[in-house]
Amino acid sequence: MIDQVARTAVLESPPPVADEPAPSRQAVPPRGRSRSASLAWLRREILLGQTPRDYLKSLVTPFNIVAALILCVGIPVTIVRFTQGLAATTNLTDATPWGLWIGFDVLCGVALAAGGFVMASAVHLFGLHDYKPLVRPAILTGFLGYFFVVIGLLFDLGRPWRLPYPLFISPGVTSVMFEVAWCVALYLTVQLLEFCPAAFEWLGWRSCRQWAVWMTVGLTVFGVLLSTLHQSALGGLFLMAPGKIHPLWYSPYIPVLFFASAVAAGISMVVFESMLSHRVFQEARHSRARMDRLTLGLGKAAAVVLMVYFGLKWLALAHGQQWRLLLTPYGYWWLLEVLGFILLPCLLNAYAVRNRRAGLVRFACVITVLGIVLNRLNISIITYHWNAAERYIPDWKEFAITIMIVTLGLLSFRSIVNRMPVLNDHPDFEPAH
């Protein structure tokens, strides 16, 4: 089913004629250029070499039809949310002020977007240059992930126009939210700058692209520092709710657990994204042997990180001395998360690397991604107010907004990849990443 959706999601441009080199992309026509040259650039780069009529016809695909239906539901709900307030679209209360939009859109989104700093640091700081083909897709995924995290946050805030207040107007330097807000804002800017070389190559701005490449290492170091801070700080937010989160999930080690799980999620998302891109985009079809080798390398790293994460989970349990709770329904749920979504993919990755089975690594990474999502939802929703008489259940409008945000992220990724040199190097430039 994933294959069917993936193959219909892309707007494939006509492949070049056999035995004939593909035409290189041209720079943006300068202002002195004729109108016909500008129109030719727009047709080639924006309409993917098609006439407006043919381009509109190419948009009629099963994926686009489903996306349009999702937007037709999500946009009216968005209007209701920002005209009638949170009460008209959510089941949030004063006792449960954080719900699906924080638990999934923000906490899961930030964790799954960690592939950008993981791959950038691996290539630019640790010298693993074999993984360069995966850097730009990972950075783009991370940038879009953080961008739509901010969009999701706007839905959750009662007064979204006050979003800049903690940053500039009324900073609360002793608040964890102050640190998270600044780190997320700065890291979103860093990822935009890290992706600029691809955009400048697409536009043909050589001097700007040269400056962007020159800043790569500095941006990578800054990005790693920011990611380490805010990935752990998101877990630190829940340190303030010791009586509200189930004891099996509450621990002083939550910040460390959040950071370790984010690294595992980032590696797994890189594998998952490259798997889908290879099936969907013509440009991503590199040598299968090379992609399998890179996938196995990432699987080895994922196995190590997952084993560390698995050990930290048991260390947190031992620190809290909550062994008796393992024989309760919530205890069985905790064991399912730890054994089924941490230990199992760890062992699968290790077995796959030892036996050179790249497909098994991809399967294990899908399980890992689901496990990180489950962990974030367990902490923020499922076990939050676990002993309260009335539990929070998201309204259908909350699901509609969340699905719309995810859909917009997929559409944005596809649109950018179809136009900019993300999956392959630009033929007119030396490789930047």
Q: CATH no. for residue 265?
A: 1.20.1630.10
Q: How many domains does the chain have?
A: 1
- 45 assigned to some structural domain: no
Residues 20 and 321: their CA atoms lie apart, in Å, by 68
Structural domain of residue 216, as residue ranges? 65-387+396-419
Residue 7 pLDDT: 47
How do residues 136-166 score in pLDDT, each as one tens digit? Answer: 999 999 999 999 999 998 999 888 888 887 7
- 224 assigned to some structural domain: yes
How do residues 249-260 score in pLDDT, each as one tens digit? Answer: 999 999 999 999
Residue 421: pLDDT over 80: yes
Residue 220 pLDDT: 93
- 34 assigned to some structural domain: no
How do residues 174-218 score in pLDDT, each as one tens digit? Answer: 677 787 888 888 999 999 999 999 999 988 888 998 998 899 999
**pTM of the prediction?**
0.86
- 90 assigned to some structural domain: yes
How do residues 292-347 score in pLDDT, each as one tens digit? Answer: 999 999 999 999 999 999 999 999 999 989 899 999 999 999 999 999 999 999 99
Residue at token pair 């699906």: 100
Residue 286 pLDDT: 60
Residue 243 pLDDT: 84
- 47 assigned to some structural domain: no
- 265 assigned to some structural domain: yes
How do residues 372-415 score in pLDDT, each as one tens digit? Answer: 999 999 999 999 988 888 889 999 999 999 999 999 999 999 99
- 38 assigned to some structural domain: no
Beta bridge partner(s), residue 384 = 245
Confidence of residue 282 (pLDDT cuts 50, 70, 90): low
DSSP, residue by residue, 66-85: HHHHHHHHHHHHHHHHHHH-
Residue 3: pLDDT over 70: no
Residues 405 and 47: their CA atoms lie apart, in Å, by 24
Residue 163 pLDDT: 80
Is residue 394 a contact partner of residue 77, using CB atoms and an 8 Å limit? no
Task: Please state at what angle helix 396-419 crosses helix 62-84, rounded to 10 degrees.
Answer: 130
Mean residue pLDDT across the chain:
86
Type of residue at 105: D
Q: For 115-133, what is the mean pLDDT?
A: 91
DSSP one-letter code for 248: T
Residue 33 pLDDT: 54
Residue 388 pLDDT: 84
Q: For 359-363, what is the mean pLDDT?
A: 95
Residue 62 pLDDT: 92
- 258 assigned to some structural domain: yes
Confidence of residue 34 (pLDDT cuts 50, 70, 90): low
